[in-house]
Amino acid sequence: MSALLEVRHVSKSFGGVSANVDISFDVAQGEILGLLGPNGAGKTSLFNSISGEVTPDKGEILLSGQRISGLGPVACAELGVARTFQVVRSFDSMTVLENVMVGAYSRASGMRAAMAAAIDMIAFCGLEARADRPAHGLSPAEKRRLEVARALATQPKLLLLDEMLTGLTPTEAQSGVQLVRDVRARGVTVIMVEHVMEIVLPLVSRAVVLDLGRVLTIGTPAEIVRNPDVIRAYLGDRYAAA
């Protein structure tokens, strides 16, 4: 099976602070990959490189064999990378439907086509009842769903979810987990950043753990939780031996 996304030796530093150092991994078509690590590990920086928001200093990123690093966010979106944001960025002067139509217009020609596509995605994300409401009035959980709907409306191959489940109530998080499964069932490959291990690990097929900008380990959930390096990174040295 060929990899959908290949991250090859990616390094990125900001003003002397290394956010990512020599990061390499592959993501298979149809996979849900977890991107884990403590605060400041470089998860969001890596997302920004994959989505084209920043250009890596070294290394390259390939989508379906085509180089996407350095092309910028618009080209990445056109080639099939979509994302949500850690701090929600809804278009607050628009309704939910209009928000999603912005994404839909990247593929659809004409208002009716964009609207039909947007309505599909809103229904898929369970926001039908909110379609005509202004986006700024949504609850935090609904805003996260709105971002997913908007991103899916661009018909991506790869969806990057940046802490989509963080800060939600357990019920909201559970329905969020179901939404991620549904997204994968549509054939969209998912990379998700999360802090909260117990939510992510049952969901993902593999996880990449970052610490201080470097890849600490890559493996299945079962391998991750037993890895002493992961325990050390999260809990400190005292617990690693236990």
Applying CB under 8 A, the residues found at the interface with another protein are 51, 53, 72-74, 77-78, 82-83, 85, 89-95, 97-98, 101-103, 105-106, 109, 111-112, 114-115, 119, 122-123, 128-129, 131-137, 150-151, 153-154
CB 100, min distance to another protein, A: 10
Min. distance of Cβ 116 from another protein in angstroms? 8
Q: Which helix (H) or strand (E) holds 237?
A: helix 237-240
Minimum Å gap between C-beta 39 and another protein is 21
Least gap, CB of 138 to another protein (angstroms) = 12
Buried b (16+ CB within 10 A) or exposed e, 67-96: ebbebeeeebbebbbbbbbeebebbeeebb
Which residue, 134 or 219, is less far from another protein as judged by CB? Answer: 134
139-144 long-range contacts (CB < 8 A, ≥24 apart) are 140/88, 140/167, 140/168, 141/168, 141/169, 141/172, 141/176, 143/88, 143/90, 144/84, 144/88, 144/168, 144/176
CB of 90 to another protein, least distance (A): 8
Shortest separation between residue 119's beta carbon and another protein, angstroms: 5
The residue (of 129 and 235) whose beta carbon lies closer to another protein is 129
- Which residue, 78 or 182, has its beta carbon nearer to another protein? 78
Strand order in the sheet with 17-28: 17-28, 3-14, 58-63, 66-67
Please identify, using beta-carbon distances, which residue of 41 and 114 lies nearer to another protein. Answer: 114
Residue 28 or 88: which CB sits closer to another protein? 88
Residue number, 148 or 230, with CB nearest to another protein: 148
CA atoms lying within 13 Å on the CB side of residue 57: 14
Q: How far is the CB of 50 from another protein (least distance, A)?
A: 11
- In DSSP notation, 123-158 reads HHTT-GGGTTSBGGGS-HHHHHHHHHHHHHTT--SE
Range list of β-strands (E), 110-237: 158-162, 189-193, 206-211, 214-219
Q: Which is nearer to another protein, 91 or 234 (CB)?
A: 91
